[in-house]
Structure 1
Amino acid sequence: MTGVVITGTGVITAAGSGPGPVLDTMFSGTALFPDRAGTSWLPWPVAEMRLSEIAWPDGDAWVNNQKYASATAHAAVAAARLAVAVAGGADDHAEGVRCGTILAAGISGGDELNEVIPKLAVQAETDPRPLAKLLYDEVPDYSYLRGIPSQVGQFVCMAAGFLGSNVAVYGESGASGLGALSVALRILHSGELDRVLVVGVQPPLSATVLAALDQEEAIGTRASTGSGPFDRGRNGTLLGEGAAAIMLERADTARERGVPAVAEILACETLCASERTQALGTAVSSVLDQAGRQPDLWWAHGSGSVESDLDECRTVGPLTAGTPVTSSKGTIGNAFECAGLIDTALAVEALDRGRIPPVGLLREPDPALGAIDFVHDGPRPVSPAGTALVTTFSPGPHATTAGAAMLTRGVVQ
């Protein structure tokens, strides 16, 4: 047991604000991907979170800072404020210095860097300059200003009144947000902070990044029944956008503040290995050992990729035999940078309701995935006092980082 609890969550997806609308959509069997046939120059449907509808806070300080705020910052602040509304922010300076933020960040989250990084990756193959010199010469200054994740973290700290550490977990090490969550646990265990707000955002991806991802591992070109995660007919990762915030704090701090815990983190690990299956298997084995129990619900990564779904089921399935499995990405898509944080919030909500939603767009489970108990024929009951396993990994066939977390509703005494 970690002695670390979740006291608030904030989620923004194509379903709207909060984990509840996502679960409602999953229970209804609806998917939130637009019909892109003949309506878009992009071949891939995307479950969009409608950034234009996300408001920036009022007040002189916020108005003055808005000119520095990217789309990522807008979504991060909005998700953070949702979590703070439940868990509360820092009341004074003394409390604020004991509270901090961790941002799950990646190159896909920086606005201008979306265009710059792929070009530099190609140029670096033949350019004679050392990499450090190449980057210094070729990356525009504005990309550094707009793409520094700690600046987004600073906005999040401002929203919560937090004055402590402002940390960013970059790229593949973020493992869709669970990397940031595991770092937060270590900071809390070290005694450096009492509370940590973990935030991740997946804003719209540029065509350049999408094309590069599609070359690495196919992106799904259709989002209809029979093309969802784990389906025999799946044809690629389903794309989504989103933002998520998870407020973590030491259980004794929550008790002293009089704030109820919505869940306890039993274990969380993120690992890098030579192969993603090795990283995922080791991470899952570790959290199962730490938790000392089997999960009642497995909230899988389940991106819809032919190969990654196969890797995940063959790796985790034998470790969680008989556990019912669901995934959100057939409903809201894969919000890469924060997918694991969104799924953590959804797993808490599912346990709270005592119901497991079905996998979106799943019609016929692929027999090649093994004897996995996919939830696809309607909701299933689950004990509100049960435990949930969340698994995730970085995108692409060559990514070698994976993460796993175990949580239970309420607090383990």
Structure 2
Amino acid sequence: MNTRRAVVTGIGVVAPGGVGTKAFWELLTSGRSATRAISQFDASGYRSRIAAECDFDPDGSGLSGEETGRMDRAAQFAVVAAREALADSGAGDVGVPPHRIGVSLGSAVGATVTLEQQYTRVSDAGSRWVVDAADPYPHLYRALVPSGLAAEVAWTSGAQGPVRVVSTGCTSGLDAVALGAQFIEDGSADIVVAGATEAPISPITVACFDAIKATSANNDDPGHASRPFDRDRDGFVLGEGAAALILEEAGAARRRGARVYCEVAGYAQRSNAFHMTGLRPDGVEMAEAIRVALDRARLAPESVDYVNAHGSGTRQNDRHETAAFKSSLGEHAHRVPVSSIKSMVGHSLGAIGALELAACALAIDTDTVPPTANLRTPDPELGLDYVPLTAREHRTDTVLSVGSGFGGFQTAVVLTAPRGERGHG
């Protein structure tokens, strides 16, 4: 029987509302929303003109001019988050051989901003079918291949072990952390930088979601537009950001005296094989992912202290996952607090799962459940405890985090307090 276990010893975050883990957690526990009118381009002609943008200064975040010149915004986020996580963990100073350090990074749309900007330039804003290749951007290939994101994180962390990109839509962040935990468990690596990054706030991305009317059109009140589980919700608000978790083998982390936030105790992925953007109302495939993740963690449904919901704010998602919680957790679903941080930091597509796991680790560390901001009129069709408006002190030893991705992807991850420390609150 394999006894290797993955624990989280470092956290790094770039998020709307502030760069760094401290600013991220302060935003979440305050119940404030970072959503606002889009400033990165002229969005006046779009149906949805709001987003949760990061106030990100590459120079102020420690990136050199050369790094900024070659890296897409998403790669910049990832590198800054990884550096903070490595510093937080102290794992870079313990002498682990480079070939025992890995990277598992998620992203749904990769270097969208750079690709769109460069196409606009060489096509004269789309007016030429035959583009001008006389003055190419020298780093365009890096933007084309999603592996460039993981390569940047590997270079900044000195990782010469397994390096992977995970792209499963909006479950990418959860899936990347699960894959990183697998690297630890199967002995492929002793330290893994795991997480996800996304910088999708661009004309093409906004147009894609406008076309299917998935995003909120509450442009007159952007701070209250993201309203998961609310009766008056009208779609999600696009976001951006990155989060990195340092995963280590539990025994090694304990021997070096590392601070351990939590353990990655269980995870599972399922697909609904149903529709590109549609969800079955009964949530059967998400419920199955939850059951398998809890079984892997050897925990009963009643052990879950907090559920970090996908909570996108679309009607079909909120109904779908609420049904999944009721199916997989039984009567306990009506007792356990549930919340969605997308109400505050928006929906950053592939990155959001990693940001949510960072929030879950901090919830365990502080015994605090972040709220669902803007939830003023709960949808009576749903009927669970969605922690409206205000953070809640609550003993949080076991957290379930779930995600749904276009294409029918469903993921559940279970984090627990470090062994020997459960009941720490």
* TM-score, with length taken from structure 1: 0.84
The 1:337–1:248 alpha-carbon spacing in structure 2 relative to 1, beyond 3 Å, is: same
Amino acid aligned to 1:382: H
Are 1:115 and 1:209, in contact at CA under 8 Å, matched by a contact in 2? no
**Residue 336 of structure 1 pairs with residue 341 of structure 2:** no
In structure 1, C-alpha distance between the alignment counterparts of 2:368 and 2:61, rounded to whole Å: 34
Match of 1:283 in 2: 289
Quote how far apart the aligned CAs of 1:213 are: 2.1
In structure 2, C-alpha distance between the alignment counterparts of 1:227 and 1:258, rounded to whole Å: 41
Residues 5-404 of structure 1: pairs in structure 2 closer than 5 A: 5-35=7-37, 40-41=43-44, 42=46, 43-53=48-58, 55=60, 57=62, 64-91=66-93, 95-113=97-115, 143-172=140-169, 175-222=171-218, 223-225=222-224, 228-275=227-274, 277-291=283-297, 292-293=299-300, 294-320=303-329, 321=333, 322-369=335-382, 371-376=383-388, 378-384=390-396, 386-395=397-406, 399-404=407-412
Are 2:74 and 2:241, in contact at CA under 8 Å, matched by a contact in 1? no
What is the root-mean-square deviation of aligned Cα atoms in Å? 2.8
Identity of aligned residues (%): 27
1:244-299 deviations in whole A, cap 9, x for unaligned? 10111110221233312111111112222314534322211111222213310011
1:281-319 deviations in whole A, cap 9, x for unaligned? 221111122221331001101011121111111112332
In structure 2, C-alpha distance between the alignment counterparts of 1:199 and 1:27, rounded to whole Å: 22
- Secondary structure at 1:111's aligned position in 2? helix
Amino acid aligned to 1:393: S
Q: Return 5+ residue gaps in structure 2 as ranges.
A: 120-136
1:9-38 deviations in whole A, cap 9, x for unaligned? 11111121234433333333321122569x
Amino acid aligned to 2:181: L
Are 2:7 and 2:248, in contact at CA under 8 Å, matched by a contact in 1? yes
Quote how far apart the aligned CAs of 1:52 are: 3.7
Quote how far apart the aligned CAs of 1:345 are: 0.8
In structure 2, C-alpha distance between the alignment counterparts of 1:36 and 1:91, rounded to whole Å: 41
Quote how far apart the aligned CAs of 1:195 are: 1.2
In the alignment of these two chains, the number of paired residues is: 381
Amino acid aligned to 2:368: R
In structure 1, C-alpha distance between the alignment counterparts of 2:356 and 2:311, rounded to whole Å: 11
Are 2:59 and 2:65, in contact at CA under 8 Å, matched by a contact in 1? no
> Which one is further off, 317-326 or 359-368?
317-326
Quote how far apart the aligned CAs of 1:392 are: 0.8
- Secondary structure at 2:92's aligned position in 1? coil
Q: Greater helix share, 1 or 2?
A: 1
1:57-112 deviations in whole A, cap 9, x for unaligned? 46xxx665554222121111100011001112434886211001111023354335
The 1:114–1:406 alpha-carbon spacing in structure 2 relative to 1, beyond 3 Å, is: farther
Amino acid aligned to 2:351: C
> Which one is further off, 329-338 or 311-320?
311-320
Amino acid aligned to 1:280: M
Are 1:175 and 1:270, in contact at CA under 8 Å, matched by a contact in 2? no
In structure 2, C-alpha distance between the alignment counterparts of 1:229 and 1:18, rounded to whole Å: 25
Are 2:43 and 2:203, in contact at CA under 8 Å, matched by a contact in 1? no
The 1:55–1:255 alpha-carbon spacing in structure 2 relative to 1, beyond 3 Å, is: same
Quote how far apart the aligned CAs of 1:242 are: 0.9
Are 1:36 and 1:45, in contact at CA under 8 Å, matched by a contact in 2? yes
Match of 1:125 in 2: none
In structure 1, C-alpha distance between the alignment counterparts of 2:205 and 2:314, rounded to whole Å: 17
Are 1:107 and 1:113, in contact at CA under 8 Å, matched by a contact in 2? no
Q: Return 5+ residue gaps in structure 1 as ranges.
A: 118-139
